[in-house]
A and B are shown apart, each in its own frame.
Chain A
Amino acid sequence: MITPMEKITICGLNSQRKTVMERLQKSGCVEFIKSDDSELISVNVSESVTQFERYLSLSADALEIIDEYSPAKTGMLSVRKDKSLQFYSMQSEEIKTTGTVAMDIINTVKDIKEREAQIGTINARISAISQWAALDVPMNYSGSKTVETALYTYPEILDKEGLDSLLEEVGDYVTTELVSSSREISCIFAAYLKDFKDDVTRVFREKGFTQPAIGLSRRTPKDKIINLHEKIAKLNNEIESLKQKITKLSEQRDEIQLFHDHLVLRRDKYKALENVSLTEETFIIEGYIPKNKSEHIQKKLSDLICTVELSAISEDEEAPVLFKNNSVVSPVEGITASYSMPSKHDIDPNAVMSFFYYLFFGMMFSDAGYGLLMVLVCGFLGFIAKVESGLRQFMRMFFYCGISTMFWGFMYGGFFGDIIPGLKPLWINPIDEPLMLLIFSVALGVIQIMIGLILKFYVDFRAGERVSAIFDTLSWVIVLFGAALAIIGFVLGYDIVIKVGIGFAAVGVLMILFMKNRTTWNPITRLFSGIIGLYDITSYVSDFLSYSRLMALGLATGVIANVVNIMAKLGGGGIVGTIAFVLIFIVGHALNFAINILGAYVHTNRLQYVEFYSKFYEGGGRAFSPLDMNTKYYNFMEVKE
């Protein structure tokens, strides 16, 4: 069922605007829309919204850092913590301090990153200097009055003879020491008389020696390396204390989460404010509200100076949609929503769809053991455990699917495959009678598609398009019904049923043949259009055959489960055999469970979307999205006193 909506108009004094909006946000049942009255002013909120977004990303970043440095002890299912509504609005003082903390955390991480980068640079430096470690004079030592010393590098491996032969030309004036030599680089300390400096440096240059690319320290390389290591140790110490600082600040996780949620609430309120119209002294809020909530809102605002007017939604207006179904049907609302929300012409398809959804899912997954697991796990999560409402609905859907899976498991005689030797199928064993199951699957398809067409007939008829409803939709229902009847008669051997069936089908065919084209009276044109129209039968046939997947997936679950059991038993008896059995059994069934639950889910959705909804469901509506408390960490509740 789709909840009927009303339009609500609230007028009040600007001085009470904030209170009104906060109360609306807390009740979460009004979706704001922009007034089309152009004389009124509206507030430009984009700046404030951007501001909030910025702080939001700040607090989100800070929270991410906190989670990294001191992971929260939450289980797999995180639930929003309950919080009394009095925390709804933080004091500006608190906002400031918590904001500073968040900022502090982010800056501290920046500091850590900076120091880590520094350490990286220093390490590179150390590895460059360590090539010179054997040198025992300061690196910037340049010699005495008459003798000059210099450092050179050579880009290849060298030994003393190689070095000497390279410098043969000036060998008399220069004495060298090979400090270190590796494949990439050779380091050389050279001393020569100042008088021959020009010659010596020229030879060095010509032979491919270069001066080292590192800064020359006034210490010896060894000292310098020690010095650099000291620097690293100091930086590491600083990083350690910065990390401790973050861990300390992380204790304020709760406050920052509250800060985050507070910002979300404020931002949403400001976004809604964009749709509020103002005059000098007053404001006007227009919006949609579910009819059953309007009294509640009127009561909520009764003590304020404002008027609340309710009015019907006009015919041509596309109101947002909110589903309202019983607890068995409502879990599949999400399935419909991810297809499309109903347009204003549509009916709520969930009730009919949920029946087929659970039925088909069970037929495809079809193992009582797997179904039992689903019932236990999803039943616990959906009804007993404390989880967020979206997950709860999803789990409830799988709970009902699990019941259906158990049912079909017993119908097919499957409980973790054939692990229980004496378990007889209540109906058929699909492995022995696949044809029977195929026929049954297609028959279910015929039924679902006929129901889809009947819904289409109802929708069109209600919308006033009666001729189209009768000749374009009802005609096919009659054809399909007649054909089905004839086939049933043929199978059961009743001539009379066959004749009645053919009669029905003939009536339907005639309706299509002559009434498909209603724009002309020319019988030839009409007949032609009618014949082309009859070709639609091919699309119906392919739709029906699509339901063969009910058989295929149902069979696959059972077959794989049986093979798992066969393989598990291959180990024979004894201790080794038993361990092998348990291992193969668990792994094999877990795998089969995972593959086939996914398959059943996807293909059940597909049958609803492609085969069923395409018959009658238009979609394209918009989900109701009221101004509410869409928080991430805290669930603000009214505390009863």
Chain B
Amino acid sequence: MNLAQVYALLGAAIAVILAGIGSAKGVGLASEAAAGVVSEDPSKFGKLLVLQLLPGTQGLYGFIIGIMVMLKIGIIGGEAITSVPVGLQFFAACLPVGFGGLFSATAQARVAAAGCNIVAKKPAEASKAIVSASLVEMYALLAFIVSFLMVNQIG
């Protein structure tokens, strides 16, 4: 393994770690709120599940970018990269999804947790809670797309 690959791997690690932290915190927060509602009325679990899982997508986005980088730098496929600037390019490409994922997941989790309240008090309006949480998703998605396009174009 050469230095270029190390830089690229650092990037992949950041993408997976930060987005993963965000999602883990996010799903945890939303699930805590949901558990409170389920303890009162277990039949609402299905509606709550979507809210619980929404902050989980960021981790998935980070994971995908991580895999993509590894596929392109000769770790689990592709040709080994040797140029250090290229390695740093991969590093840079991983930053959007890492940080975007970290912060959007925690923000989304707060919306989702508040949405659990909606489900508890007015189950018929559950879709509105989901819509609200999905609005935050947009920014994770944008970060993911940019990271993806960057990774895709390098090399």
Contacts and interface: CB of A to CB of B under 8 A. Distances in A.
A434 B145 CA distance: 10
User: Which of A553, A556, A605, A606 has the most chain B CB within a 10 Å cutoff?
Assistant: A556
Given A559-B144, A559-B145, A602-B130, 9 more contacts: A549-B141, A556-B144, A559-B64, A560-B64, A595-B57, A599-B134, A602-B137, A605-B131, A606-B131
Nearest to B125: A338
A547 B144 CA distance: 17
B1 interface: no
A553 B141 contact: yes
A550 interface: no
B83 interface: no
A603 B138 contact: yes
B143 to A, nearest CB: 10
A555 interface: yes
B141 A599 contact: yes
B130 A598 contact: yes
Interface in A183-224: none
Given A598-B130, A605-B131, A549 B138 contact: yes
Interface string B117-155: 000000000010011001101100110110011001000
29 contacts: A338-B127, A431-B152, A434-B145, A434-B149, A552-B138, A555-B145, A556-B144, A559-B64, A559-B144, A559-B145, A560-B60, A560-B64, A563-B64, A563-B67, A563-B68, A566-B67, A566-B71, A570-B76, A591-B60, A595-B57, A595-B60, A599-B134, A599-B137, A599-B141, A602-B130, A602-B134, A602-B137, A603-B138, A605-B131
A284 B55 CA distance: 57
A552 B134 contact: no
A602 B51 CA distance: 13
Chain A at the B interface: SS class: helix
A229 B150 CA distance: 74
B50 A598 contact: yes
Contact of B67 (A549, A567, A599, A605): A567
Contacts of B138: 549, 552, 603
Contacts of B127: 338
Contacts of A599: 134, 137, 141
Interface in A572-621: 591, 595, 598-599, 602-603, 605-606
Given A598-B130, A598-B134, A605-B131, A552 B149 contact: no
B89 to A, nearest CB: 18
A552 B76 contact: no
A434 B142 CA distance: 13
A552 B142 contact: yes
A556 B134 contact: no
In the A-B complex, the 7 residue pairs with the closest CB atoms: A602-B134, A563-B64, A552-B145, A602-B131, A559-B148, A595-B57, A555-B145
Contact of B135 (A434, A552, A567, A602): A602
A438 to B, nearest CB: 10
B130 A556 contact: no
B54 to A, nearest CB: 8
A606 B127 CA distance: 13
Contacts of A605: 131
B141 A556 contact: yes
A556 B147 CA distance: 11
Chain B at the A interface: SS class: helix
Contacts of B57: 595
A552 B141 contact: yes
Contacts of A559: 64, 144-145, 148
Nearest to A432: B152
Interface in A489-507: none
A553 B139 CA distance: 11
Nearest to A591: B60
A613 to B, nearest CB: 15
Contacts of A567: 67
Contacts of B141: 549, 552-553, 556, 599
A566 B134 CA distance: 27
A445 B141 CA distance: 19
Nearest to B146: A552
Interface string A412-450: 000000000000000000010010000000000000000
B151 to A, nearest CB: 10
Contacts of B149: 434
A579 to B, nearest CB: 19
A556 B77 CA distance: 22
Contacts of A598: 50, 130, 134
Interface string B3-32: 000000000000000000000000000000
Contacts of A338: 127
Contacts of B142: 552
A67 to B, nearest CB: 11
Interface string B78-97: 00000000000000000000
Nearest to A434: B149
Nearest to B144: A556
A637 to B, nearest CB: 27
A560 B58 CA distance: 12
Contacts of A553: 141
Nearest to B65: A563
B135 to A, nearest CB: 7
Given A602-B131, A602-B134, A556 B60 contact: no
A602 B50 CA distance: 13
Contacts of B131: 602, 605-606
Interface in A469-501: none
A35 B50 CA distance: 47
A598 B138 CA distance: 12
User: Which of B127, B144, B145 has the most chain A CB within a 10 Å cutoff?
Assistant: B145
